[in-house]
Amino acid sequence: MDNPLLKLYRSKIYTAIMMLVLLLCIGILGYRFISGYLWLDAVYMTVITVTTVGFAEVIPLDPASKIFTIFLILTSVVIVGYAISIITDYILSRNNMEDIKQRRMQKKIDAMTNHIIICGYGRNGKQAAKKLSDYGKSFVIIERNKDIIEKFQDDAITFIEGNANEDETLFAAGIEKASTLICALPNDADNLFVVLSARQINAKLSIISRASEETSYHKLKLAGANNVILPDKIGGDHMASLVVIPDLVEFIDNLGIIGERNINIEEVKVEQLYNMNEVKTIRDLDLRKNTGCTVIGFKNDKGEYIVNPEADTELIPGSKIIVLGRPEQIIKLNSQYNIE
């Protein structure tokens, strides 16, 4: 968003341009009707007078024309001087404001921890940023196209201008303190290079990468990506599923996972549910009775998933449960167990 000071300068620039145009019109009309010049000669005399280049007159001036020329010269000195001053101040102020904005943005990034870095603000990057924003997550976007940054930057979105392939840019985005990196660049080779660099810098980083070609899937995995997403493949599978099992797919699509009033499904660490001194089971917690939510999934400390786990499944440290419920039940769950 534009700074109010820059908007003020732009308003002054528009005023200065209007004054210059008005001055030229007065000069042309004056030489045309006071001195009797042809239109082209009137334009020529006005330009050489306003710019003070000092060329000779087309026709010797009579007293009335000399008085008008004196008026035009004095007026043009004031107006042109004002315009040059405003334009110079605007350029200097814009540069200063850009520096201040960049320092403020960098200070905000330096204060972040466990944030998400999104490389690329194309279609996938925008969608990822929207989801993260809706979910209240802190994130930084690395984008090399300055026009895109100027178009979308506001107080809610933090941008770093630069090439994600360069380590300096990754460090500026706080990669050593980040929890997740999303590579959403359009080129698979660029994503591969970013994954390699990021994994070298932060071994604990969770990396999610986009891939256009299926042949890039295993390469990105080997480079260090935890998850590789093929948008075209997912889109095709989704459309085919709408033909084969349309009602089930629509039901899943309608499960809200973002927004304060639309959440139907939630992932919860077991450490947030009870004191870990004594291991409890799903039956012991009885979330269905206490909150109305139903446990539909379990992920153990080894990363293995169990769909519709048994009631006697032990909620060991490092594991997670996935619960399903109406929005008000999810809100009750989060409130009762102080889950943020």
- 308: domain CATH number is 3.30.70.1450
pLDDT at position 167: 93
Average of per-residue pLDDT across 19-25: 87
Cross-strand partners of 265: 324
91 and 119 both lie in a single domain: no
| pLDDT on residue 181 | 96
User: What pLDDT is stored for residue 65 in this prediction?
Assistant: 82
* Domain presence at residue 63: yes
Residues 89, 116 share a domain:
no
On whether both 89 and 174 belong to a single domain, the answer is no
Give me the pLDDT at residue 183, please: 96
Q: What is the pLDDT of residues 266-286, one digit of tens each?
A: 889 999 998 888 889 999 999
The region, left, alpha or beta by phi > 0 then psi within -120 to 50, assigned to residue 259 is left
Domain with 309, as residue range(s), is: 265-337
Own/partner pairs, 143-151, CB within 8 angstroms, 24+ separation: 145/121, 148/121, 149/121
Residue 158 parent element (H or E):
strand 158-161
13, two tokens: 């620039």
> Domain of 79: which CATH number?
1.10.287.70
The verdict on 74 and 137 lying in the same domain is: no
- Cβ-proximal residues to 132 (8 Å cutoff; 6+ apart), any chain: 116, 118, 139
- The secondary structure element, H or E, covering residue 113 is none
Same structural domain, 143 and 209 = yes
Last residue in a domain, options 95, 122, 146 = 95
More confident position, 4 or 215: 215
Q: Tell me whether residue 48 is in a domain.
A: yes
165 inside domain: yes
Q: Of 180 and 266, which is predicted with more confidence? A: 180
Tell me: pLDDT of 166 over 60: yes
Last residue of a domain, one of 215, 233, 251: 233
**Alpha carbons 265 and 274: distance in angstroms, whole number:** 20
Q: Which residue has the tokens 């959403």?
A: 184
**Do residues 146 and 218 share a domain?**
yes
pLDDT higher for 260 or 69? Answer: 69
Confidence tier at 1 by pLDDT (50, 70, 90): very low
Per-residue model confidence as pLDDT tens digits over 56-88: 777 777 888 888 888 888 888 888 888 888 777
pLDDT at 133 over 90: no
Task: Note the pLDDT tens digit of each residue in 80-112.
Answer: 888 888 777 777 766 666 666 777 788 888 889
| Whether residue 215 sits in one domain with residue 134 | yes
| CATH value at residue 195 | 3.40.50.720
91 and 116 assigned to the same domain:
no
Residue 273 counted as domain residue: yes
- Nearest CA to 73 among 57, 85, 87, 89? 57
Both tokens of residue 290?
Answer: 């206490």
> How many folded domains does the chain comprise?
3
Same domain for 117 and 223?
Answer: yes
Neighbours of 286 (CB within 10 A): 12
The two structure tokens encoding residue 107: 């200070």
Output the DSSP codes for 76-109: HHHHHHHHHHHHHHHHHHHHHHHHHHHHHHHHHH
Q: Taking CA 268 as the corner, what is the angle to CA 264 and CA 272, rounded to the nearest 5 degrees?
A: 135
Same-domain pairing of 33 and 127: no
In this prediction, what percent of the chain has a pLDDT beyond 90?
A: 39
In a domain, 154, yes or no: yes
**248 belongs to a structural domain:** no
* 21 and 86 share one domain: yes
pTM (2 decimals)? 0.62
Distance (Å, whole) CA 334 – CA 320: 15
- Average pLDDT over the chain reads 86
CB within 8 Å of 42: residues ≥ 6 apart = 27, 28, 29, 30, 31, 32, 35
Domain-located, residue 53: yes
The pLDDT of residue 262 is 65
Does residue 13 sit in the same domain as residue 46? yes
Mean pLDDT, range 213-238, rounded to an integer: 91
- Other C-beta atoms within 10 Å of 80: how many? 17
- The pLDDT tens digits of the residues spanning 227-245 come to 999 998 888 888 898 888 8
Give residue 198's pLDDT.
95
